Amino acid sequence: MAILEIQNVTKVFEDNLVVDNISLNINQGEFFTLLGPSGCGKTTLLRMIAGFTRPDSGKILLDGIDITDLPPEKRPLHTIFQSYALFPHMSVFDNVAFSLKMAKWDKSKIVSQVAELLDDVKLTKFAKRYPHELSGGQRQRVAIARALVDRPRLLLLDEPLSALDARLRGHMHVELVKLQEETGVTFIYVTHDQSEALALSSRIAVMNLGNVEQLDKPQEVYSKPNTYFVADFLGKCNLLPAKVIAIKANRITLCVADILEFELEMDSLNNITVGQSGWYSIRPEKVKAKRREPEDAELFFAKAIVHGYYYYGEGTLYIFMLENGTKVQAMLANYKTEQASFFEDNAQVMLSFDPQAGSFIAR
Amino acid sequence: MNKNIKLSEKKVLSTPPIIYLTILFLIPTIIMVFVAFREPGSYGGVAPLIEHIGNTNKINLTLDNFKFAFSNYFLWQLCIRSLYFSVITTVCCLIIGYPLAMLIAKSLKKYRDILLLLVIIPFWSCFLIRIYAWMIILGPQSGVSHIINYVIGIMGFQPVNLLYSSFAVVICLVYINLPFMVLPLYANLEKHNDDVIEASRDLGATRLQSFLKITMPLSLPGILAGSALVFIPSIGMFVVPELVGNNCSLMIGNLIKQQFLQTMNWPLGSVTAIIMTLLVLGISAIVAILARRSGALQYANK
């Protein structure tokens, strides 16, 4: 099932541990994302898969075959570079045909295969153009066609959309997911953009300081972060200091920010003991605010006052202050008229949230 | 070119180079062409343009210099030899200079300036002194001479004289011109994007294929610039053949110098110089047209 196995791979650059003993499996047909801040080792890991960098230790297996020592040209996978890396002295056609020519395909087969790929990325009319005559989005599509033309086992994408403007990036998201589904090629996508990672991936590996902090489906990574770093890196998050004060079956009782107390159901109680401190993480959009106490018994309530706000259009991010001064962010949808859903500064409100919508992160 | 600069400003900006080129290039060339049609003077220089013979004025303009030059076997022999030496020099400079330029361009940034300095350092001493140094290196008493003659002696050949030969001329031409090949090549190679090379490897090209299909075509502007900078000065060189060459390695520059300074035939010297200039122009034009037709430079202005 696993198409790519990374086993205990380590890389050191000038005394810097860039990739620290990483092991992970990537499944056939996945859209797998390596997400992390710059310098977390995600690009180095990608370059080791591509064969541009040799790991100091560990193995990389593709379809069960050890490719650790193979040069890049012998690996049945292609990379899409951040700079696109198109060949400036070749036409679009010759760029896309490059790998087929290297593999010594028949001329007629090359022509038909390239034509098919150019049709897929809607660049048929541009076959005779040179890269410097194309727009950024078109160059991007040439790079994609060039990398997919010989149906590689794996496609590695190194922050491929970071040079495009926001609107074009949105278009490319849709096209990338479509291409991935149509071709069935396994994608490994490197990005530092968390919303991109959440929107595109079937699984995400969140990386920090050369380690994989969490590997899971986007929904899980986002709503149940394992570590402080993951919670903090993936979008806005309330990270409130918390302490375990009781454990009963699979439920723990938390004391959050010294004044809130509620119970939390846990999937596992591994390494959790009474008295353990950590954080309670809950996303701002999971927190609601009303002027009066609502009737829903499922929810947990806390009194707060409005400390400040940022208007985003589709919602407003409020900073609320609990009675002891702890700040809590809440993203409130502007679902009524702007005036009706607006809280003025220092307004008294009642915050409410489902404790289960957040998670406890042990220190 | 910045599009914001107005046309009038462009004219002002281009005045100094125009004046410079007019004084240092255009006027001397016109004088040279004019002299080519004059009669040689009895004691050097040119005969007076208008000569009073009795009551008639004789205008001394003639095509004889051209007729003589075009029918002169020796002159054409020197032309062909100059071309031959220059082509060999250019090719040798390319073969030696390309790896050197590549090495410098690929080295760590902090070492690059030092390496470039090493390429330029020979310019700090006089060109003649450096040729004299080569005369010592290639001279019959030198270690190089001994080793080479020993080796070819084993192979059963008679000893040879390295100095005062065509071999010495080409060696010195290559030595003198090498930096002019390395610098433009370096300037080009240094700009290459590593991603593009990696992309070619990623798409199935071996190291060699990647060099032949990507690096080399992309460095063509540098190759052409370097070749021009080596080829053009080589063809008119006269000091090198004079110092380290023999009778059979004289070049067209020697003939021009001889006609001006020894035989004192300025008009014939001018004709020879014009032929040389046209030769260089013609070859440059052919190369430029070929390069443009191959599309090699289309991306250069990107």
**CATH, residue B84:** 1.10.3720.10
**Among all residues of chain B, which has the CA nearest to that of A133?**
B302
Closest Cα to residue A338, out of A313, A319, A318?
A: A313
B56 versus A142: the higher-pLDDT residue is A142
Using alpha carbons, list the distances in angstroms from residue A159 to A42, A53, A80, A131, A250.
10, 18, 8, 19, 41
Would you call A339 exposed, middle or buried from its count of C-beta atoms within 10 A (0-12, 13-18, 19+)? exposed
Answer yes or no: is pLDDT of B19 > 90: yes
Verify whether the Cβ–Cβ distance B298 to A102 is below 8 Å.
no
Strands A288-290, A348-353: pairing is: antiparallel
| CB-CB contact of A136 with A164 (8 Å) | yes
**Among all residues of chain A, which has the CA nearest to that of B221?**
A89
Closest Cα to residue A79, out of A110, A51, A114, A118?
A: A51
Which residue in B201, B204, B206 is closest to A103 by CB distance?
B204
Residues of B in contact with A43 (CB under 8 A): none
- ∠ CA A299-A304-A307, nearest 5°, is 130
| CB-CB contact of A126 with A138 (8 Å) | yes
pLDDT digits (tens, 9 = 90+) for A189-237: 999 999 899 999 999 999 999 999 999 999 999 988 989 999 999 988 9
Which residue in B196, B209, B295 is closest to A85 by CB distance?
B196
- Residue A215 pairs with which residues in a beta bridge? A205
Closest approach of chain B CAs to the CA of A350, in angstroms?
A: 55
Q: What are phi and psi of A207, to 5 degrees?
A: -110, 145
Q: What is the reported pLDDT for B241?
A: 93
- Mean pLDDT across the stretch A276-304? 83
Verify whether the Cβ–Cβ distance A87 to B198 is below 8 Å.
no
Verify whether the Cβ–Cβ distance A71 to B201 is below 8 Å.
yes
| CB-CB contact of A320 with A184 (8 Å) | no
- What residue has token string 């009781």? A246
Closest approach of chain A CAs to the CA of B225, in angstroms?
A: 18
Answer yes or no: is pLDDT of B58 > 90: no
Q: Which residues make up the CATH 2.40.50.140 domain(s) of chain A?
A: 236-362
Q: Which CATH number fits domain A2-229: 3.40.50.300, 3.40.720.10, 3.30.200.20, 2.40.30.10?
A: 3.40.50.300
Answer yes or no: is pLDDT of A270 > 80: no
Please indicate if any CB of chain A lies within 8 Å of the CB of B57.
no
Closest Cα to residue B62, out of B82, B78, B40, B79?
A: B40
Where do runs of H (alpha helix) occur along chain B?
A: 7-21, 27-36, 64-70, 73-106, 109-120, 127-138, 143-154, 166-190, 194-202, 207-210, 216-218, 220-235, 239-244, 252-261, 266-293
Rounded CA-CA distance A201/A88 in Å is: 31
- Mean pLDDT across the stretch A320-336? 88
Which residue in B202, B206, B217 is closest to A89 by CB distance?
B217
Q: What is the reported pLDDT for B169?
A: 95
Helix (H) or strand (E) holding A319: strand A315-322
Residue B175 within a domain? yes
How does DSSP classify residue A292?
S
Answer yes or no: is pLDDT of B301 > 50: no
Verify whether the Cβ–Cβ distance B204 to A99 is below 8 Å.
yes
Q: What is the reported pLDDT for A110?
A: 96
Residue B275 within a domain? yes
- Mean pLDDT across the stretch A306-319? 89
Residue B274 within a domain? yes
Buried b or exposed e, range A263-274, using 16+ CB within 10 angstroms:
ebeeeeeeeeee
pLDDT digits (tens, 9 = 90+) for B240-265: 999 999 988 999 999 999 999 988 89
Q: Which CATH number fits domain A236-362: 3.40.50.1110, 3.40.430.10, 2.60.40.10, 2.40.50.140?
A: 2.40.50.140
Verify whether the Cβ–Cβ distance A52 to B209 is below 8 Å.
no
Residue B10 within a domain? no
pLDDT digits (tens, 9 = 90+) for B261-295: 988 899 999 999 999 999 999 998 998 888 887 76
- Mean pLDDT across the stretch A101-119? 94
Which amino acid appears at position A342 of this protein? F
Reported as a pLDDT band with limits 50, 70 and 90, residue B7 is confident
Buried b or exposed e, range A64-93, using 16+ CB within 10 angstroms:
eeebbeeebbebebbbbbbbbbbbbbbbbb
- Which residue, among B202, B206, B294, would best test binding to A if mutated, counting the most A CBs under 10 Å from its CB? B202
Handedness of CA A181, A94, B201, B100 (dihedral sign): negative
Residues of A in contact with B199 (CB under 8 A): 79, 81, 85-87
Reported as a pLDDT band with limits 50, 70 and 90, residue A321 is very high
Please indicate if any CB of chain A lies within 8 Å of the CB of B292.
no
Verify whether the Cβ–Cβ distance A52 to B218 is below 8 Å.
no
Which residue in A73, A83, A102 is closest to B195 by CB distance?
A83
Which residue in B198, B205, B298 is closest to A85 by CB distance?
B198
Answer yes or no: is pLDDT of A294 > 70: no
Please indicate if any CB of chain A lies within 8 Å of the CB of B261.
no
Verify whether the Cβ–Cβ distance A78 to B202 is below 8 Å.
yes
Tell me the range of A56-70, A284-298, B48-62 where mean pLDDT is highest.
A56-70
Reported as a pLDDT band with limits 50, 70 and 90, residue B50 is confident
Which amino acid appears at position B51 of this protein? E
Rounded CA-CA distance A19/A212 in Å is: 9
Residue B142 within a domain? yes
- Mean pLDDT across the stretch A268-278? 83
Looking at the structure of chain B, the number of domains it has is 1
Q: What is the reported pLDDT for A298?
A: 66
Verify whether the Cβ–Cβ distance A81 to B298 is below 8 Å.
no
Rounded CA-CA distance A99/A33 in Å is: 25
Report, in angstroms and rounded to the nearest whole number, the Rg of chain B calculated over CA atoms. Answer: 24
Q: What are phi and psi of B137, to 5 degrees?
A: -60, -40
Closest Cα to residue A161, out of A133, A130, A193, A121?
A: A193
Q: If DSSP codes are grouped into helix, strand and coil, which group holds residue B81?
A: helix
Answer yes or no: is pLDDT of B2 > 60: no
pLDDT digits (tens, 9 = 90+) for B193-237: 899 999 999 999 999 999 999 999 999 989 999 999 999 999 999
pLDDT above 70 as % of chain A? 97
Q: What is the reported pLDDT for B299?
A: 62
Reported as a pLDDT band with limits 50, 70 and 90, residue A46 is very high
Could you tell me if the ipTM is greater than 0.95?
no
pLDDT digits (tens, 9 = 90+) for B149-204: 999 999 988 888 889 999 999 999 999 999 999 999 999 999 998 999 999 999 99
- Mean pLDDT across the stretch A284-290? 89
Q: What is the reported pLDDT for B17?
A: 92
Verify whether the Cβ–Cβ distance B205 to A146 is below 8 Å.
no
- Mean pLDDT across the stretch A109-131? 93
Closest Cα to residue B230, out of B60, B135, B124, B88?
A: B88
Say what the alpha-carbon torsion angle B76, B79, B84, B87 is, to the nearest 10 degrees. -150
Verify whether the Cβ–Cβ distance B202 to A73 is below 8 Å.
yes
CA A321 to chain centre: 31
Tokens of B102: 């590549």
Please indicate if any CB of chain B lies within 8 Å of the CB of A50.
yes
Using alpha carbons, list the distances in angstroms from residue B179 to A244, B169, B302.
74, 17, 27
Q: What is the reported pLDDT for B42?
A: 80
Q: What is the reported pLDDT for A338?
A: 67
Buried b or exposed e, range B56-83, using 16+ CB within 10 angstroms:
eeeebeeeebbeebeeeeebeebbebbb
Rounded CA-CA distance A104/A97 in Å is: 10
Q: If contacts are CB pairs under 8 Å, which of residues 177-216 in chain B contact chain A? A: 193, 195-196, 198-206, 209, 213-214
Q: Which residues make up the CATH 3.40.50.300 domain(s) of chain A?
A: 2-229
Answer yes or no: is pLDDT of B112 > 80: yes
Reported as a pLDDT band with limits 50, 70 and 90, residue A273 is confident
- Mean pLDDT across the stretch A229-255? 90
Residue B47 within a domain? no
Residue B16 within a domain? no
Verify whether the Cβ–Cβ distance A88 to B302 is below 8 Å.
yes
Tokens of A342: 């607006």
**Among all residues of chain B, which has the CA nearest to that of A86?**
B196
Q: If DSSP codes are grouped into helix, strand and coil, which group holds residue A73?
A: helix
Q: How many C-alpha atoms does B42 have within 13 Å on its Cβ side? A: 1
Please indicate if any CB of chain A lies within 8 Å of the CB of B291.
no
Q: If contacts are CB pairs under 8 Å, which of residues 71-130 in chain A contact chain B? A: 71-73, 78-79, 81-83, 85-89, 98-99, 102-103, 130
Residues of A in contact with B209 (CB under 8 A): 102
pLDDT digits (tens, 9 = 90+) for A127-144: 999 999 999 889 999 999
How does DSSP classify residue B228?
H
- Mean pLDDT across the stretch B98-109? 94
**Among all residues of chain A, which has the CA nearest to that of B209?**
A102
Q: What is the reported pLDDT for A14?
A: 87
Q: What is the mean pLDDT of chain A?
A: 90
Verify whether the Cβ–Cβ distance B201 to A52 is below 8 Å.
yes
Closest Cα to residue A194, out of A222, A226, A234?
A: A234
Residue B187 within a domain? yes
Q: What is the reported pLDDT for B302?
A: 45
- Mean pLDDT across the stretch B4-31? 88
Which residue in B206, B214, B295 is closest to A87 by CB distance?
B214
Closest approach of chain B CAs to the CA of A195, in angstroms?
A: 27
Q: What is the reported pLDDT for B48?
A: 82
- Mean pLDDT across the stretch B34-49? 85
Q: What is the mean pLDDT of chain B?
A: 90
Rounded CA-CA distance A56/A11 in Å is: 5
Reported as a pLDDT band with limits 50, 70 and 90, residue A94 is very high
Rounded CA-CA distance A264/B152 in Å is: 92
Q: What are phi and psi of A22, to 5 degrees?
A: -90, 135
Residues of A in contact with B198 (CB under 8 A): 50, 52, 72, 79, 81, 85
